[in-house]
Amino acid sequence: MNLQEIINICGDKKNIIISGHIHPDGDCVGACYALASILHKKGIDVEIALDDVPDTYDYLVGSNYLLKTIKKDIDIFISLDCGDKERLGSNSKLFDEAAVTVNIDHHISNTQFADYNYVSDVSSTCEIIYEILDGSDDTDLLDKDICEALYTGLIYDTGAFKHSNTTRRTHQIAGDIISYGIDFTDITNRLFYYKSYKSLQILGTAIKNTERHINDKLILTTLSTEELEEYDCNKKDTESIVQILNEVTESECAIFIMQVSSDEYKISLRSRNNVDVCAIAREFGGGGHIKASGCTISGNLTSIKERLINVVKRQIEERA
C-alpha cells in the first residue's frame, strides 16, 4: 500500500476517522498523528478518535486533529496499530458503522479485520507510515512535526532500537527522520528515562511483589488496584515494569499482571530468548509480537497466575 492508494480509498469523502488501540502508546499515537498530518497536507480532512492519550506525548503536534464529538455516518475508518477490532475498544462501534474500513498494522497476530488490510512484520506502525510515504512521489510532505511523530513510534516499539524487531531498514529510516532536525535525544529521554516520582514508587512495589517460577526461567509480578491507587498511578506509570523484569539475566520470560477491575487483569509479556510470548498471549485471546505481547484475562488472580505459568512451562519444555 502506498499513499496514493489511501488517497484513492478516501476519495472525496468528508467523514474520515483515524483510530488506534486502547491505552495508546508511542507507536499508536505517533502513527495516528503522522498519518493525519500527511493526509491533511493532501487536502483530506480527517479526525483522530483516540481515548486517553497520555500527557507523555504532549510534545507531539497532532492533538488538534483529535475528535471533539462523536461522529455519525462515517465514510472511512482507518485503524492503525491494532491487531484485531476489539483492540479499538469503544471506537470499534465507529468501525462497525463505517462504510469502508482500512487496517494498517505491524502485529503478526493481526486478524485482517477490515475491508482493506495492510499488515507488515516490521518494527512499528510508524515504520509502515514512513514506507507508505516513501513509496510515493510525496516524500516532500515530511516535516519536523511529522518526523517527531514517526520517530516516537520507531523508538518506542523498538525499545530505543534494542528489540529484535529493529532492522537495518529501521535504522535507515531513523537516520532519514533525524535529518529533519528533530531532538531525538529529548524524545528518547521522555519515553525511556524521565520518570515521575510516583512511577518509581510503584516500580518499587512491583519489584517487591516479584515471583520466580520454572527454575527461575520465568519472573512474574503483580499490581493490584489498591496498590496503584496508593500512589495515584495509572497505566502510564507502569510502562517500564515488564521491560525491567525482562532484564533479569536468569529469566527467559517476564510477565506483569496489572489489575484493572475486580476480576479483570491486563497481562504484559516479554522474552529475550526463544519463548514465543505471542503464542502465549493468543491462548488467552491476545497477541502481539514473538518477544512482546499482551492480553486481558478475567477471573481469580491465583488461577490466572497458575494458567500463565503452566502455558509458559509447557512451551519451555516443548523446545527443551
Same domain, 53 and 168: yes
Q: Bridge partners of 261?
A: 264
Q: Residue 38 CB: number of other CB atoms within 10 A?
A: 25
- CB–CB of 76/98 below 8 Å? yes
Distance CA 64, CA 116 (A): 27
Round the average pLDDT of the chain to a whole number and report it: 94
Q: Can you list the positions of beta strands (E) in 156-246?
A: 211-213, 218-223
Whether 86 and 172 map to the same domain: the answer is: yes
| Same domain? 237 vs 120 | no
CATH of residue 123's domain is 3.90.1640.10
Predicted pLDDT of residue 274: 83
- What's the angle, vertex CA 107, arms to CA 104 and CA 109, rounded to 5? 115
Report the CATH number that the domain containing residue 256 is assigned in CATH.
3.10.310.30
Question: Do 160 and 110 lie in a common domain?
Answer: yes
Higher pLDDT among residues 77 and 138, named by residue:
77
To the question of pTM greater than 0.85 for the whole model, the response is: yes
The reply to whether 114 and 201 lie within a common domain is no
Q: What is the DSSP letter of 66?
A: B
User: Quick one: 144 and 241 in the same domain?
Assistant: no
Residue 185 shares a structural domain with residue 266 = no
Residues 97 and 141 both lie in one domain: yes
Does 140 lie in the same domain as 39? yes
H or E element that contains 202: helix 197-208
The edge-to-edge listing of strands for the beta sheet with 76-80 is 46-49, 16-19, 76-80, 100-105, 116-119
Q: Are residues 101 and 37 in the same domain?
A: yes
What values do phi and psi take at 230, rounded to 5?
A: -55, -35
Distance from CA of residue 83 to its chain's centroid?
10
Q: Tens of pLDDT along 257-281?
A: 999 999 999 999 999 878 999 999 9
Q: What is the pLDDT of residue 238?
A: 94
Q: Given this model, what pLDDT does residue 319 score?
A: 81
Percent of the chain with pLDDT over 70: 98
Say whether both 176 and 40 belong to one domain: yes
Please, are residues 18 and 36 in contact by the beta-carbon 8 Å criterion?
yes
pLDDT of 24 > 90? The answer is yes
Structure confidence by residue, pLDDT tens digits, 104-158:
999 988 999 999 999 999 999 999 999 998 766 666 899 999 999 999 999 999 9
Average pLDDT for 168-192: 96
Residue 28 CB-half CA count within 13 A: 22
DSSP letter, residue 192: I
In the predicted model, what is the mean pLDDT of residues 215-232? 97
Please tell me the distance from the alpha carbon of residue 245 to that of residue 258, in angstroms, as a whole number. 14
Mean pLDDT of 211-233: 97
Our separate counts of H helices and E strands in the chain read 12, 11
Type of residue found at 108: I
Task: State the sign of the Cα–Cα–Cα–Cα dihedral 192, 196, 197, 201.
Answer: negative
Q: pLDDT-derived band of residue 320, with 50, 70 and 90 as boundaries?
A: confident
289 in Cβ contact with 84 (< 8 Å): no
Residue 17: burial class (beta carbons within 10 Å; 0-12, 13-18, 19+) = buried
Per-residue confidence (pLDDT) for residue 42, from 0 to 100: 92
Q: How many distinct structural domains can be found in the chain? A: 2
C-alpha atoms less than 13 angstroms from C-alpha of 147 in its C-beta half-sphere: 19
Write out the residue range of the structural domain in which residue 136 sits.
Answer: 3-192
39-70 pLDDT per residue, tens: 999 999 999 999 889 999 999 999 999 998 87
Instruction: Indicate if 159 and 290 belong to the same structural domain.
Output: no
| pLDDT for residue 295 is more than 80 | yes
Mean pLDDT calculated for residue range 219-232: 97
Q: Is the pLDDT of residue 72 over 90?
A: no
Taking phi over 0 as left and psi of -120 to 50 as alpha, with beta for the rest, 34 belongs to alpha
